[in-house]
Amino acid sequence: MTDSYPKPSQSGTYVLGHSDRELDRLSAQARLLNPITTRFLREAGIVRGMRVLDVGTGVGDVSFVAADLVGDKGEVIGVDREPTALAVARSRANAASLTNVSFCEGDPSEMAFEQPFDAIIGRYVLLFQKNPTQMLQKLVPHVKLGGVIAFHEPNVVAHSYPVSPMWDRCCQWVAETFRQNSTEMQMGSKLFSTFLAVGLPPPEVRVEAILRGGANSDDLVNWIVGLIGTILPSMERLGIVAAHRCRP
């Protein structure tokens, strides 16, 4: 008997897409976020030997964090709708000789699994859902009674001090692009009510911010530049920025 992995639904849009540039950006983003995610998952109770479902795994970064926490006797299954991203995740797992991680294509809220999980986790997933409450409600039956459900979601407050007009403008462009694509950039602050809405106990919520300045800000600057590079076509289409074409 095996887990059932149906093909993903094609409904809805995902503003970030899955270009090679975006997949590379996800890996760069992970270098910023992984320390925070690791702390979150440890505090949530992810420990050795657990069987974990990673929702919206992308190129596998959160699955790899979880794999390190659950150890060789644990198991992590990363699920995503995008086969291109999963191909990168599998290649990375093979290169690292990880035997406790596997990846499957599909919508985890519509999938059937052979066994329940000790934990369900995800990073930057619920903010892109048209109905995050409904998605979470469909995921709950896949976790054991008393198991862990942990999501690392953003609560974006991006500004500079002292004021850097270019930085603040870039952040405003990104925020407006996401807003017009129905992305919930304050999903972090909505986790508490979302958990209660599906009948889960009140969750413990942690907030951690990334602050950079001066020569220490390169990684954060590169993050916003990469993000704008990914969503620039959407920004132009929405009229948030004007399209400028180089003339021959």
Q: Does the residue 206 lie in any domain?
A: yes
In tens, the pLDDT along 25-81 reads 888 888 889 999 999 999 999 999 999 999 999 999 999 999 999 999 999 999 999
The answer to the question of residue 135 being in a domain is: yes
With CA atoms as reference, report the closest residue to 47 among 21, 12, 73, 8: 73
Q: Tell me what the mean pLDDT of segment 185-201 comes to.
A: 95
Confirm whether 24 is domain-assigned: yes
Q: How many CB atoms lie within 10 A of CB 41?
A: 24
Q: Any idea what the CATH number is for the domain that residue 77 is in?
A: 3.40.50.150
Q: Helix, strand, or coil here: 147?
A: strand
Alpha-carbon dihedral angle through residues 66, 194, 33, 13, given to the nearest 10 degrees = 100
| CB-based contact 116:139 (threshold 8 Å) | no
Q: Is the pLDDT of residue 7 over 50?
A: no
Is 163 inside a domain boundary? no
Instruction: Please report which confidence band the pLDDT of residue 4 belongs to, taking 50, 70 and 90 as the band edges.
Output: very low
pLDDT for 100: 98
Does residue 177 contact residue 235 with C-beta atoms inside 8 Å?
A: yes
**Residue given tokens 């995921």 in the structure block:** 139
Record the tokens describing residue 234, joined without a space.
């959407």
Structural domain includes residue 169: no
Distance CA 38, CA 42 (A): 6
Q: Which domain holds residue 58?
A: 20-155+184-211
| Across 9-15, average pLDDT | 49
Residue 121 resides in a domain: yes
pTM: predicted TM-score of the whole model, two decimal places: 0.87
225 in any annotated domain: no
- Per the structure, the count of domains in the chain is 1
Whether 67 is in a domain gets the answer yes
